[in-house]
Structure 1
Amino acid sequence: GPSVESESDIASADQESFTSQFASAYGHPYNSAGNIFLPFDETEQRRLDSFHRLLRVCLNGELAVTRIPPEAKVIVDIGTGTGRWAVEMAARYPGASIIGIDIAPIQAKIVPENVTFEIADVEQPWKIEPESVDFIQVRGLAGMIRDWPALAAQAFEKLKPGGFLEITDVRGKVLDFDRKFGEDEITPNLTKAFEQVSANVGTIFDPAPLVPGWLNDEGFEKVAQQTEIIPLGRWPRDKKLRAREKMATAMSLPWFAPTDFNLMLVRPLVIQPVGSYNPMIKS
C-alpha cells in the first residue's frame, strides 16, 4: 500500500472537533474528563511524531521489537496519537488491516486504504472481535491508564492464539552523571512530585516494572523485556547515544511547560511544580 510520509499529510484534525470533548487551559487543549495529563495541541503532536522517530532510531529503523509474521491480517495501535506508526506499519504490511485507537482526533487525514482510525477511550471496550488480532501495540500511555490489568485483559481477549502484545514506554529515571547536583536536589523531589500527582489522579507514571506481572497474571506466555537508553544531557560519548540524546532533548524541553500547567490543574501542589526543575534539567 502507499506510504504517507510528509508533514503536510500527517495533518491534525480541525481544531473545532475538540470543542465537545476537550477543555482549554493556558492556551492548551486537554481532555475534558481530566484523565489525560498531556495536551493535544500542535506542540504535543510534533512531540509525538518526534517520539516515534526516536523509537525507530532505538530499534535500528524497525517499527516494533516483535517479529510480526508477514501474513498478519489485523494489527492494532492503542493510543495511536497522530497515527504515524499506523501509517508506516500499513506500508510494511499492505495485506493487513491497521486499526489505530485514540481519544483525540489528531490523526492523519490522508492514509492508506488499509488504515482506519477510531476515536475512543482505549480503556473502554474496543470494537474488535475476540481472537481476531495478530499484533497489538501500546505505546506512550504511562500516566494515562487507570487500570493496566484491565487493558492487558482486553488485549488478551482480542488477540488470536499465538498473537503478540508489545508495550513500550519511557521510564523517567534522573541520573546525574556529572555530579553537578546532590541526589536530593533532583531525583527524590521530582519523583515525589509525580508520585503525588499519580496517587491523586489514580494512575501510574512508571508502570514498566509492573507490566510483566500483569501480563503473566492474565495468561500471556514468553513475557520478555528490552531496555534502551535514551539520554538527556550531553554526557554520552557513544555515537549512537549522542544521536538519541539530541533527538530526546529537542523533543523533551518544550514538553515541560504545558505539562507543568496541567500538573497544577490536577490539584494545587504543595511541592515545586515540574517547571521549577527546568534549569537543572537544561544543565
Structure 2
Amino acid sequence: MSTDLCMADVSYLGDDDSEFFRTVHTRSLNTLNSRYMLPVDRDEVKRSELHHRLLQFVFGGKNYIGPVKQALQFGQQRRILDLGTGGGFWAINMADDFPRAEVIGVDLAPIQPRTVPPNCTFELCDLDQRNIPYPDNHFDFIHARSIHTGIHDYPRFLEEIARVLRPGGLILLVEPSLIPIVDGKPATEYANGTELRDTTVPERLTDLLATNEAFEKVVVQDGNIPVGFWPSDQNLLTVGQLQWMDYELFLPALKPFFLCSGLPEAKAERIISDAQRDLYYPSLPLSAQLHIVYASKCL
C-alpha cells in the first residue's frame, strides 16, 4: 500500500512556522486541515500538558498501560509512534523512558518544544485526510489519545495503524467520552449542515478494534474521571483538579467550532457560559468517562 508522505519529512526546528497557523475568531488554528476547529495555541498546549499529567496519575505514574516493554524488546531498532501528539509531552517522556527507541510524534501543527531528547522527533501530517506516512510494519508501539474529534473515518484510521504496526506490536488508544448536551440536545444537532466527526467513537473503541481482523488480545480499562474538587481520596482529588483545569481551557476553545458550524455568536457564547457555570458551580459531583483500550497486532 502506498504511503502518501504529505508533510511528514518537514523539519521546522528554528524555521519560521507561521505558514502552519491561521487565526479564526481570535484563536490560532492549524492550516493543514480546515475542518479541525480546535485551537493550536498556547492555551491548547497547556491543556495538552494537563491531560498528560492527568493520565500519568490514572496510569499510576507511568505513561502507558499494557505490555509495552514486551512489545519493545524485539528487534535492534525499536520504534514508537505518537499520533496526535499535541504538545508532545507523551512522546518526550517516552523518549526519556526508552532511550534506545526512536520516538516520533505526529500532529497538525508545530506546537511541540524545540529542545527534545535526541531520540525524539516531531513531524506534521493531516492524519484525517492522508495515510499515516510510514512504511508497512514499521513501528513496535503506536499510541493515540484524544484524537477522534479530528478523524472523520476512524475504522480507516485503525486500518492505517494496523498497516504501519509490525506483527506482535502494540496499540494503545485513549479517548475521553465527548457527547456534550447543549440546550437539552446533543451538540451534533447544532451542526447546521456542517459535517461533524463521530462523537460515539470513544464508547465504540472496543467494538472497532474487535471488528478489525488485524488485532487480537483486546484489553479494555475504562473508568470514570472525577471533575472538580469533590473527591476525598488525595489521588482522585488531584485527577479531578487536573480534569477541571482541562475543561476550563477546553470550553472557550469550542467557540471557533461553534461559530464556523453556523451558530450565532450570542448562542455560542451562551452555550459556553452555561457549561462554565456547571463547571464552576456544580450542583452534583461531576465526572467524565475515559475509554482505554490496548491490543496486539496478529502475528
TM-score by length of 1: 0.82
The alignment status of 1:110 with 2:115, answered yes or no, reads yes
Pick from 66, 70, 73 the counterpart of residue 71 of structure 1.
Answer: 73
Q: Which has the higher contact order (CA 8 A, sep 6+)?
A: 2
Query: In the aligned structure 2, how far is the partner of 1:252 from the partner of 1:194?
Result: 19
The alignment status of 1:276 with 2:281, answered yes or no, reads no
Query: In the aligned structure 2, how far is the partner of 1:137 from the partner of 1:92?
Result: 15
- Deviations for 1:27-78, whole angstroms, at most 9, x for unmatched residues? 2111344322210110111110111111101111111112212426011000
Pick from 212, 218, 221 the counterpart of residue 218 of structure 1.
Answer: 212
Task: Give the corresponding residue for 1:249.
Answer: 244
Query: In the aligned structure 2, how far is the partner of 1:150 from the partner of 1:280?
Result: 36
Deviation at 1:270, TM superposition (A): 10
CA RMSD of aligned residues (A): 2.6
Specify every segment of 5 or more residues in structure 1 that has no aligned partner in the other structure, as ranges.
1-11, 175-186
The alignment status of 1:22 with 2:21, answered yes or no, reads yes
Cα distance 1:156–1:205, how it changes in 2: closer, same or farther (>3 A)?
same
- Deviations for 1:112-156, whole angstroms, at most 9, x for unmatched residues? 121121111123122322112111001111311101011100011
Range with bigger deviation, 254-263 or 102-111: 254-263
Task: Give the corresponding residue for 2:261.
Answer: 266
> Does the 8 Å contact 1:101/1:118 carry over to 2?
yes
TM-score by length of 2: 0.78
Other structure's SS at 2:209 match = helix
Q: Which amino acid aligns with 1:200?
A: T
How many corresponding residue pairs? Answer: 259
Pairing of 1:157-236 with structure 2 (within 5 A): 157-172=163-178, 187=181, 189=183, 192-194=186-188, 196-197=190-191, 200-219=194-213, 220-236=215-231
Query: In the aligned structure 1, how far is the partner of 2:44 from the partner of 2:16?
Result: 17
Query: In the aligned structure 2, how far is the partner of 1:154 from the partner of 1:75?
Result: 15
Query: In the aligned structure 1, how far is the partner of 2:38 from the partner of 2:13?
Result: 17
Identity of aligned residues (%): 25
Range with bigger deviation, 58-67 or 146-155: 58-67
> Does the 8 Å contact 2:179/2:199 carry over to 1?
no
Query: In the aligned structure 2, how far is the partner of 1:198 from the partner of 1:105?
Result: 31
Q: Which amino acid aligns with 1:116?
A: T
Query: In the aligned structure 2, how far is the partner of 1:199 from the partner of 1:15?
Result: 38
Deviation at 1:188, TM superposition (A): 6.4
The structure where strand makes up a greater share of residues is 2
> Does the 8 Å contact 1:193/1:272 carry over to 2?
no
Task: Give the corresponding residue for 2:40.
Answer: 40
